[in-house]
Amino acid sequence: MADRVVLMNKGRVEQVGTPEEVYEHPATPFVYGFLGAVNLFHGRVEGEHVKVGEAALPHDGRDADQGSEVVGFARPHELDIVTDPSATAGVAAVVGRVLAFGASARVELDAVAGAAERGEPTHYEVLLPRERVVELALTEGQQVRLVPSALRVFPREAA
């Protein structure tokens, strides 16, 4: 039997499971953030999407009542960058810097004014294979769109 971990927050058990179960299926926002870097998307559930500013992002459907305020979580490797200026999918962002190291690269971005639901500065981190970054030819200040491959939502009050 695989080893099990217990994640606690202020003396309260948040989740018990194998390391893989806890990482792949975090039960709470605390667990999600505790286990590594995350990108947050504050929005409202509309159909099968989370409306973040003007963007509509597909989500996992769990814990998401229609019209409810939610926070979507996506790990850096669960985001892709779209450079096509005519693209409408995803959240608008501006490339801050690209840090290439070995086989991968970290891209740091900021939300475009008005792209964030709450109007607060929003920063994102995307982890891509180096080849993908070369293919995208990203430059500092370039406007792009962020598209999550996986977006796990939690009610805003739980986050």
In this prediction, residues 12-31 reach a mean pLDDT of 91
- Predicted confidence band of residue 91 (pLDDT cuts 50, 70, 90): very high
Q: Measured between alpha carbons, how far is 100 from 82 in angstroms, rounded to an integer?
A: 18
Q: What is the DSSP string of 20-88?
A: HHHHHS-SSHHHHHHTS--EEEEEEEETTEEEETTEEEE---TT--TT-EEEEEE-GGGEEEE--TT--
Residue spans of the domains in the chain: they are: 1-36, 37-158
Q: So what CATH class is 37-158?
A: mainly beta
146 pLDDT band, cuts 50/70/90, is very high
Q: Binning pLDDT at 50, 70 and 90, where does residue 59 land?
A: confident
Mean pLDDT for the chain?
88
pLDDT for residue 85: 86
Radius of gyration of the chain (CA): 16
150 confidence band (pLDDT: 50, 70, 90): confident
- Read off the pLDDT of each residue in 140-146 and give the average, rounded to a whole number: 95
Which residue is listed with tokens 């971005």?
A: 109
In this predicted structure, the answer to whether residue 61 has a pLDDT above a threshold of 80 is no
Question: Alpha carbon 3 to chain centroid distance?
Answer: 28
> Residue 119: what pLDDT?
56
Look up the pTM and report it: 0.85
Residue of 28, 1, 24, 2 lying closest to 13 (CA atoms): 28
